[in-house]
Structure formats: structure tokens, C-alpha cells
Structure 1
Amino acid sequence: MKKLLLFLFFTSSLTFLWSQNLQRIEVKGVILSENQDVEGVTVFNTSSNKGTITNSNGEFVIDVALNDRIEVSALQFNPITMTVNEDVVESKQMKVYLIEQVNQLDAVLISSGLIGNIAVDIDNVKVLPNLELNMGNMNMAFEYNDDKAFDNQVVSDHLNAVMDKGRFYNGIDFVQIAGGIFGLFVTPKSRKLRKNTTPLNHTPKDITNVFSHLYIAETFKISEEKVPAFMGFLESKEINPELFKEENKLQLIDYLMKQSSLFLELNDNKN
């Protein structure tokens, strides 16, 4: 037993003496990064339990020895651990390039009462009741009974002229939306008057009020510079106003297809 204790004491003494005799040298290092700030990065020597932090330029000074383990860490970087080799000891310099840390979030399940089956979810959607706004007596300064004050057709014609010369823009029926919004501000008395009045002429002045130049060029194979000439050609034909109605849109396209073929044929003959 005495021999075992003596051996352990001798071994621990050698270890203590070896650690005291281990000479560490001062090494100048720098932290490099492509995008992130390199100030305040922790550089820790786990072999000597001593560390430091970098300055505003990412520079630091630390004592190391051969085979010491150096840990470099910061919130914005992936932590790394490296071993001091002979090149570092001989050059007394250390360069560390850190990679920006990318935080990967865990998947989050958001529950909104839907089950994922579109048909079932649509059936389960609650339909809001009609909204009735009581505007009171507001006919003094504003003529809300004027048919043109909030006339849906006036709004429709204006939007058709602005939104790419057509009814739809990015798949949204702005005319229908605008009509529903403005319909909220029309009094019941005004609605009755509008039903009894003669409807406005819905016939556009030309095809460009229905289709844009780009649509005409791509659909009917007419170059964009010839679209104005094609418009003049159509005006000479006196298009039937009934074709401009929404329910006759396919007939209008069929008519334009035939007329575009005739127009292109006449132009080819001229050339």
C-alpha cells in the first residue's frame, strides 16, 4: 500500500513539474470573415485555461504551446476547435477564417381550423352576413342620388381603360371589387332610380378598350407596330356593338381572328 501511494505521489510530482516547465510563447492572431463583424470574438486555450477576445480589427494575442487546443467562438459564427501545430509555433502567427452561422428554425405547425382538404375547408368557411351601413341623411351637400356619383358602370369603364385595357389584372376582377365597394355607399333610393333609368351605352369606342396592344399582337400574330393599322382596318368594318358584350366575348375573338387573317393577307399582297 505504501509503495502504491509512493508511486502515485511520484507520478503527480512529475506531471506538476512538466506542466511548470512547459514554455508557452506569445502568438499574434487575426480572425477573418467575409461579411460579419470580427470584434469581440472569444479565443480560448483549453490546455492552459486562459483566453482573450479580439479587437475591432479581429486581432488578438494569446500564449500557446505545441499541441495546445484553441477554441474560437462567437454568436454570429460557427464555433471551431483547432490544435496548435509547428507552423504556428515557428511563425508565431495564427490566422483563423470563420464561417457565418446559419440558424435553422424548427418546423412550426400553425393551426387555423383547416384540415388540408380544400373541398371540406371551403364548405366549413363561414359566410359573413351582408353589411348594411346607415349613412343617415347625407343628401344635403352630396348628391348621393345622382346616378353618376357612384355608378358601377362609370367605375368599370374607368378601370377598363387603366388596367391594361382589360377587365382583369393579375387574375383579379377589380371591376367586380370596385362595384361591390361603391355599392355600399349607394342609398336604396338611388338603386331604385338607377333601375328605372335607361342604361348607358356599353359599347367601347375601339378594340383597345377591351384588349391591350400586346394581347392583340400575340393572339392574332400581328406585329405591335402594325396594331394601329389593324385598328383602323377594323373601324372601317363597323363592328357589331353586340360583340362587345361580355357574353359574346368568344364571338368577338373569333371575329377578330378572321379579320386579322384578312388584314395580314392584304398586307402581304401589298408587299
Structure 2
Amino acid sequence: MKRKLLVFVFLFQAFAIFSQVSNRIEVSGKIVVDSDDLEGVTVYNSSANKGTITNEKGEFVIEVALNDHIEFGALQFKDFTVIIDEKIIDSKQMTVFLVEDVNKLDEVVILPYDLTGNLAVDLESVKTFNPNMEAIHFGIKHSSAYEFSDDIRSNVENIAMHSQGQTMVNGLNVINLVGLLLKPLFRSNKSKEGKAKNASVNIPINTLTTYYSELFLNENFGIPINRFEEFITYVEANNLDYSLLETGKELQFLEHLTLQSKQFLKPKSEKD
């Protein structure tokens, strides 16, 4: 009887292990980074003890299952772990945006959609922006597709409150989102705050960042693509309170932009 029981337990464990292995699927991924260091980035599935590296185009293929831990690492980046969710499983695609900052990986964005592009702006050359990550724009159509690592704008994390906290949406830190995508559009030189009406004209935005910023405002606020700069100017010209750009006021700033966008989109007859 004992032998039969031991054999049954052994077969059950073997079946469970086989099921986990057989349930893994291949996911095609791509690394995007503001440098030529696309090749040789380690992509390691610590849940399966298997890994791979990116090719010269930053592409990789790895087998994953739901809730697997995928680690990205290279000498020039800080190691970062991503937990595979259902959206990545369903799409079988994953694009990882890496932002370098001298041996430091400040931001990682995971997309289960096939989007690529160089989204990092050379911070040294952008004089009208605050240093660090303030000059990075990502256009987000569905915020649940993204995961952000903590940065200097992140509050102290209370894991117990995530189920009820209002700043987390499908795992996305809304405060980080506002800090990355919206604030940079309205940040001018603080010493020239009195010239707010011309602030948007002085902001150097290259083609890629303009494209992704336009998409973000279009998808989330309904701003037409061809009225992108007009909306920026409108918000700043209507007594924009620049204190809303301070850390800790992200939600108030988001509410302000929502109200401004509604006013901006009204027909001229209603505005008058």
C-alpha cells in the first residue's frame, strides 16, 4: 500500500511539473534603448531557469507562462524583473523600453503590443526641461498594458493598500504616468515662469516625442492631432498654475488638464 501511495505521489508531481513546462509558450520580444547597446542584453526566465540574449536588433524569443518572472539585465543597466501577465500571454509579444542613465535603468515599460521606437531624449541638450527623466514622452492608449519601475516621483509603496488605493490602475502607478507623459509638455524654465504664454514655443520636441505625445493627448483627452501645439499653448495661456507640476500634485494636474481639454474642445460659440 505504501509503495502504491509513493508511486502515486511521484506520478502526480511529475505530471504537475510536465504541465507547467507544456503550458509555456514562446513570446517574441524586442528591446528598445537610446543607444547602440541592443545586443547581448540578458533575458532570463527565473521561474523556468532558462534564458536567452538579445540579437543585434534587440530582438529575443523566450518561453513563458502566466506569472513567470522575467529578468532583464546587462552591465550598463540595473537588473529589473517583470512578471508575465495575461495580456502578454494573449498577444505573445512584448516590447521593452529601456532608458539608460549611467549604469542605471530608471524606467522600464512593458507593452504587449508591437510598438518600437527611440523615445529617450538627450537630457544634456534639453535646456528648457528639468534634468533626469522629465523629457521623456510615451503615448499610451491603454494604460493597463504598461508597467513602470519606481523612480524619484514614486511615493513610498504600501503593498497592503494596492487593492484599494486610487493611484494604482491595473498595476500602473498613475503618479509615475503623469510625471512621465504630461508634465514635460508644460515644464518651462521656472525662472521664466512669467513668460508662460510663450513656454510651449520654446520647448524643443523632436519628431518621435512629438508623435507619442500627440497620441497620448488624442487617445486620453480627445485632442485632435493637428491641434496638439494649440492645446499646449491654450493650457499655459489660461493661467496655468505651475505649482501643479510639483511632485505630489499629479492627480490635481490631471484633473486640471481634463477640465481644460473640455473647454478647449467646445465650439467657439459656446466659449463666447
With normalisation by structure 2, the TM-score equals: 0.34
- Compare CA radii of gyration and give the structure with the larger one: 1
- Tell me which of the two structures has the higher relative contact order, counting C-alpha pairs closer than 8 angstroms and 6 or more residues apart: 2
Larger proportion of strand: 2
With normalisation by structure 1, the TM-score equals: 0.34
